[in-house]
Amino acid sequence: MRAMILDAPRRPLRLAEVPDPAPGRGEVLIRVRACGVCRTDLHVIDGDLPRPKQPVIPGHQIVGVVAALGEGVSGLEPGARVGVPWLGGSCGQCRHCRGGRENLCDGARYTGYQIDGGFAELCAADARFCFPIPEGYPDLQAAPLLCAGLIGYRSLQMAGDAETLGFYGFGAAAHILIQVAVHQGREVFAFTSPGDRERQEYARRLGAIWAGGSDEAPPRPLDAAIIFAPVGALVPAALRAVDKGGAVVCAGIHMSDIPAFPYSILWEERVVRSVANLTRRDGEEFLALAPRIPVRTAVTSYPLERAAEALEDLREGRFHGAAVITVAGDAHSGQGT
């Protein structure tokens, strides 16, 4: 099969012919149709995340069709359209797994990081961590739901019942989450890079009641803020923007160092917390909710051999919404087989 290979962190991706994977016990073989591009892919490639599989096939927002079943798989059949997220497996036995927080499992394994991912024509995945794709979502539009959507949804849960929300960074996750927040009757304030008027206008079109630079104060205090940009300096900025008792939620897997800040902006029971990965319950809940809103994803597509270009365009903010790698020739085809 064809695949984009990362031989080691800080090395360029290369297109190669590699052997087809074989599904092990409890796994399914998936013929990949599309795979979303995520900032976490950049963190893997840039070496921000420790101990990746080497070499590894990146990509963890996979939409495809089950091609074969490994031993012991039940509940899935060949031809089923499924999605594969970042969380690719957990031990199922530790206190975190038993307590419904498998996202914190020390033995968790991640797609496109410790498990070969979706920048390839085929991949093998743990059947228990595959999600049915909702009807009505073409492959390209479904792919961003599997990380941008899921991490955004978990971040929104961490923000509690906040009625006024700030989004710092307005990329793939924010363009999905704003649709959920507006549907729930919340007010969204969008913060972008200073001077990025085009992205601010995009946020307004999606329902933000205010949009400005991350160096600006919102017109009124926020109940909570979610930071999508991997910039530690945004933490004190967000703390200054939230009201007493407010929460600042850091949604990324990696962030630059948070600078020192005065205790006074944390005082009055403000909270800073992180979001780690996702659980299968998050996936089930969000993928049931998305079609009811309905969430619409804006995508820019790239063929498999241009995956490195897609990643650089993501790094430089050259598109709105999400980037998606098309793998199968019928990746635009909608649903089913």
90-133 pLDDT, tens per residue?
999 999 999 999 999 999 999 999 999 999 999 999 999 999 99
Q: What is the pLDDT of residue 268?
A: 97
| Rounded Cα gap, residues 152 and 226, in angstroms | 9
The C-alpha R_g of the chain, in whole angstroms, comes to 19
Q: What is the pLDDT of residue 328?
A: 78
Q: What is the pLDDT of residue 334?
A: 41
Q: What is the pLDDT of residue 330?
A: 53
Q: Evaluate if residue 195 carries a pLDDT over 90.
A: yes
Q: How far is CA 36 from the centre of its chain?
A: 9
Q: Evaluate if residue 247 carries a pLDDT over 90.
A: yes
| Rounded Cα gap, residues 129 and 282, in angstroms | 12
Where do the domains of the chain lie, and which CATH numbers do they carry? 2-147+278-326 (3.90.180.10), 150-274 (3.40.50.720)
Task: Extract the tokens encoding 240.
Answer: 């200054």
| Rounded Cα gap, residues 214 and 195, in angstroms | 9
Percentage above 90 pLDDT, the chain = 97
Q: Evaluate if residue 336 carries a pLDDT over 50.
A: no
| Rounded Cα gap, residues 117 and 61, in angstroms | 9
The 10s digit of each residue's pLDDT in 278-333 is 999 999 999 999 999 999 999 999 999 999 999 999 999 999 999 999 997 555 54
**Average pLDDT along the chain:** 96
Q: Evaluate if residue 142 carries a pLDDT over 50.
A: yes
pLDDT range class, residue 37, cuts 50, 70, 90: very high
Task: Extract the tokens encoding 309.
Answer: 């270009």
Q: What is the pTM of this model?
A: 0.94
